[in-house]
Structure 1
Amino acid sequence: MNKPIIHFIISALLGLGIGYIAFDVIPGNDGQGQEATTGNESSKPAETAKEEKKSTETTSAAAGEENILQAKGCLGCHSVEALNLTGGATGPDLSDAFTNVEGKHGKAIEEFLKEPTSAVMSGVIGGNPLTEEEINQVVKMLKDASEK
């Protein structure tokens, strides 16, 4: 066979294998957190349940509004715990991204979102680039998250 075809097949198989491991074999927090919450709700005092309901409503209001992180699919891989936005477990939590990106990637967050230096993010953003307005919205949300 032709060498490039063999390389392509091997790369595809490795990618599928890594995807299988990341998404099927390694359990995330999503399922565990929901089961624990569902099992404990009935045994909580009324005050605690009311406080949690308020917290959930606040989170739902923030999460219910179509924010930029949801609209662009960021929450498919990332969470922003500081803003009570739960997402995927594949990528790191973005609560401190506003302050950490420059040290980790050598660029200010605005520049990183225009031209990411990580291989994964360059593939993600390269296929669906952010507009200037979207970058400003993401930066504002991440700045708010870092201040909490």
Structure 2
Amino acid sequence: MKMNSLIFAIAFILSFAGGYFLFSGGDSAGTVADSPEQQETSDAEKTEDGNKEETSQETVSSEAEALERNNCLSCHAVESIGVEGGTTGPDLSKAFQDVEGKHGKSLDEFLQEPTSAVMSTVIGDNPLSDEERTEIIKVLQKAAEQ
């Protein structure tokens, strides 16, 4: 019985690791890098006249650059200002006004010391400077006014 449990645990770990590397989007070691030509065409499609046309990988609007620079958009979107992002975290359109009610502190205080487990880990690993917090708060305040 112990041997079956050991085999199951090893198979689970190998399957999990294999899935991680298989579905990590080519970021794992051992994948062959695209040639510069392949990377260029994957970033933009060429039209019939040879000009490049933007694909779904759009650049972030200037008002949301602070969110992009600090990787907020890897988990969050801000629909009220038309910024697409990740779907793991909640939409930040109303965060400016909702954070205090949900977490008992202002947005600025929350960005310094988050009370949610996920955000405390994210920000704890990479604290925001005063300038970054101010930029993010301005963007989220504008988003809440939309």
Q: TM tier, shorter chain?
A: 0.5 to 0.7
Per-residue CA distance 1:4-36 (angstroms, 9 max, x = gap): xxxxxxxxx8xx7xxx8xx9xxxxxxxxxxxxx
Q: How many pairs does the alignment contain?
A: 94
2:90 counterpart (75, 89, 92): 92
Query: Separation in 2 of the partners of 1:79 and 1:143?
Result: 14
**Residue of structure 2 equivalent to 1:133:** 131
Query: Separation in 2 of the partners of 1:105 and 1:73?
Result: 21
In the TM superposition, what is the alpha-carbon distance from 1:83 to its structure 2 partner?
A: 1.1
Report the secondary structure of 2:87's partner residue: coil
Is the helix fraction higher in 1 or 2?
1
Query: Separation in 1 of the partners of 2:111 and 2:129?
Result: 10
- Which portions of structure 1, spanning 4 or more consecutive aligned residues, are displaced by more than 2 angstroms? none
Q: Please report the TM-score for the alignment, with normalisation by the length of structure 1.
A: 0.58
Q: Please report the TM-score for the alignment, with normalisation by the length of structure 2.
A: 0.59
Report the secondary structure of 1:103's partner residue: helix
| RMSD, matched Cα | 2.4
Larger Rg belongs to? 2
Query: Separation in 2 of the partners of 1:145 and 1:84?
Result: 9
Unmatched 5+ stretches in structure 2:
1-12, 24-57
Query: Separation in 2 of the partners of 1:141 and 1:82?
Result: 11
**Residue of structure 2 equivalent to 1:57:** none
Unmatched 5+ stretches in structure 1:
1-12, 24-59
Q: Is contact 2:73-2:85 (8 Å) kept? A: yes
